[in-house]
Structure 1
């Protein structure tokens, strides 16, 4: 059996730990695992262990497989205007698979969808499932929705607002270090929002000549910046500048 679970506590090699209720159910009921079978466990600081199932709702961290820190070298946050229907579900899943650090649902002037109810909890469950499938060392944080003005004041100079206006620089030329990407709704950004973004120090960039759906743009943007950072296009000095 090869599966991966995520824990809220720090582990040490040889430590016997209690399985969270949801993970115990997943291992024993869904995967029908038995005592003595092994699986992968990621602790609270992102270290990967080989673990062995014990009697009851417990397991032992039998071997440290690798230390934390790999994913943080290319940290990319996505501030995403929520698209219609269930497209946000797909976006959360795919952005998690390509390595997003966190997702903040964005409410803009031209937003059609105003997220509420249990949607955020569903997106968090989707992110955890996708992180497990993708063998990630962390589950991306899915935050509560924020309005555009709060978002741009939060990200400031590390923010890049994606826009399809001709003449803008490509995304890779504007993304630096731990970057926050802002993707707008189907109706695009308003003039007031672009002005507010520039006033707060954000950069404007484009993804190319084609007009992408909002959810497609979010996934493509995350993947492109992750690839750039992982390939060393950004220097270590730029990467450490927040």
Structure 2
């Protein structure tokens, strides 16, 4: 990501101009991926490459297409990742969580970084600096905090782990497409009212997976034929409920 750091000054002004009036959405808006299990406080995003990407930021997009690792934009377009501006509000925290796979890595480029912000990945604490990048594997447990009164903003980029072969990429993208379709069904065909109480019970109880025994890694989703599935993010086990 050295080239990204070098060329940050070229698109910095456009990004800061956008920050003054751009439309921000809740992270994972319309999905069950990032809810109150994950965040405390305000956590917003603007999608640059990926689902529901924002109009504008044209110069920034062109620079990013030039400097991002090969295959990054394609991965975003096919639902396997995203390039976003991520805004964490003052006094907000993102609780410990893990990403879906280590086939991809995550880069954070500092855009607006007040004091009192940080990220911990696999027990190692790090911080951001404007115009500089940190790269980590979000397959490890990680958390983020902002103890200031100001917004913390980073440019977040998902890109392929360099050790991943082309064939492995295709398999991951197929799985990402499947999950994207499920997200769509969850957004436009939400559970009925009586089901919502049951959903909250499953989420809040912090169940242990029946297969691997890990606690708090299960999430509820709508699977095939509109049936509920309890999916374990630790081992991939799926339990179907009518």
Q: TM-score range by the shorter chain?
A: under 0.3
- Normalized per residue, which structure has more helix? 1
The structure with higher relative contact order (CA 8 Å, sep 6+) is: 1
Instruction: State the TM-score, normalized to the length of structure 1.
Output: 0.27
